[in-house]
Every structure is written in C-alpha cells, then in structure tokens.
Structure 1
Amino acid sequence: MQGEQSFSKCSACHNIESPRTRLGPHLMGVVGRHAGSVPDYKYSQAMTDAGASGLIWDEDKLRAFLSSPKKVVPGTSMRFFGLWSETEIDNLIAYLKTVSAPQ
C-alpha cells in the first residue's frame, strides 16, 4: 500500500502498531480524533489549545496539516515541514484510516 510507504516518513516519531507514544503521539485512530487528546502525551500548548477549540482530525484538516503543520496549528512542536504531493497525502490519509483506535 502506497500510504504505508508514505508513513515511513512519520514512523521515526509516531507509532501505529500500539498505543505507545514516541517522540510524537501514537496515530492509532487519528482520523476523527480530537487534536491533542492522546492521554499519555505532552502536547505543545498550541496543539492542546487547538483540540480544546474543537479541532478534529477529519480528512480535510489532516490534509491541510500534512501539507503545512505550522499553518494549521501555529506554535505546534511538530518538527516536520509537510508533504509536498497531494497524492502522497491522500495515500497517507487512506492508510491512517485503516488503523484502528486502541481498545
């Protein structure tokens, strides 16, 4: 799956196999989840505030964030400049949708 290949760019910081955090929060069940809501992860104040203001990671918000994280959540501590290809972003989102939330 092409999205799985795209996720390799994320895997140094994010986990999708188990609900453990790494440098970033796990991404199990991220599609449809409130921003800043993984309980055992210390988010930046900007991401915490975004989640408290109602930011939910739907496909459109994920697409925008994956393109330019700091435009969507100014002040985020995520050290990633974004993906450049819309096809790659679409593939990654499709892949993330297959990853269930932890039980």
Structure 2
Amino acid sequence: MRNVLLASVILISGGTIAAQAAEGDAAAGKAVFNTCKACHTIEAGGPNRVGPNLHGIVGRKAGTANGFTYSPAVKDAGYVWDEQKLDVYLKDPKAALPGNKMAFAGLKDDAKRADLIAYLKSESQ
C-alpha cells in the first residue's frame, strides 16, 4: 500500500511539473523573444518589420496582421494561432507551413518554445 501511495504522489507531482513546463514561463520567454526582434515587434501598435508585428498573435487568424504582406502559405492557412499551432510552427516553420517566407530555421528546444509562447500569449491580451 505504501508503494502505491508513493507512486501516486510521484505521478501527481510529475504531472504538475510536466504541465508547468508545457505552459512555459512568460518572463523567460521575453528573453527568448530577443531572437525574434530582428524581424518582429510585439508592442501594441508596433510596426511590421521583415515579419509582422506579433502583438495579439495568440487568437489571431493567420495571415491577418494589418499592413503586412504575407506569403500565400500563411495567408491561406485558414486557422487561428493558438498555443499548439505556434508550437508546431516555431519548432520548424518550413515544415509546418511549406512555402512561407520566414527565414528562421526554428526553435528546437521545447522549454524555450513553451516560454516564448507563454510570452507571446501574455502580450496578446
């Protein structure tokens, strides 16, 4: 019985830790966003650069930032950016949306990607 209880505590704790990792840390994500700043801004009303302004990206339909000319791949994606879509895209943009014009090779580190998405989400409100 004691082993079952111990195993249950470990599973519950591990699940909580895994959930926290999946949610990401917005403060850490702000530092990860420094990689994105060469091409993107994030402040409300900020300009587009080589890439679109990312303020409000979470919950926004793909390819719809005002004043930015998107590739047909993004413009015709037909979905709204959510955490899952951003995770897949940011890991490997070319594989996620073939034909898009983002030159970024992708963010392979799962934790950094989760942190970045948490930051983007915090800036989308």
TM-score (normalised: structure 1): 0.90
In structure 2, give the amino acid aligned to 1:80. Answer: F
Matching residue of 2:29: 3
Larger radius of gyration: 2
Matching residue of 1:58: 82
* Long gaps (5+) in structure 2: 1-26
Matching residue of 1:81: 105
What is the CA–CA distance in structure 2 between the aligned matches of 1:31 and 1:17, rounded to whole Å? 14
Matching residue of 2:18: none
Identity across aligned pairs (percent)? 46
Matching residue of 2:13: none
What is the CA–CA distance in structure 2 between the aligned matches of 1:100 and 1:63, rounded to whole Å? 16
Q: Greater helix share, 1 or 2?
A: 2
Matching residue of 2:40: 14
Matching residue of 2:117: 93
Any idea what SS the aligned residue of 2:32 has?
helix
Any idea what SS the aligned residue of 1:13 has?
coil
Which stretches of structure 1, 4 residues or more, deviate above 6 A after TM superposition? Answer: none
Q: Deviations over 1:46-99 (max 9, x none)?
A: 11111xxx2211100000000000111100000001001000000000011111
Match for residue 54 of structure 2 among 20, 23, 27: 27
In structure 2, give the amino acid aligned to 1:5. Answer: A
Number of aligned residues: 98
1:39 aligns with 2:66: yes
* Long gaps (5+) in structure 1: none
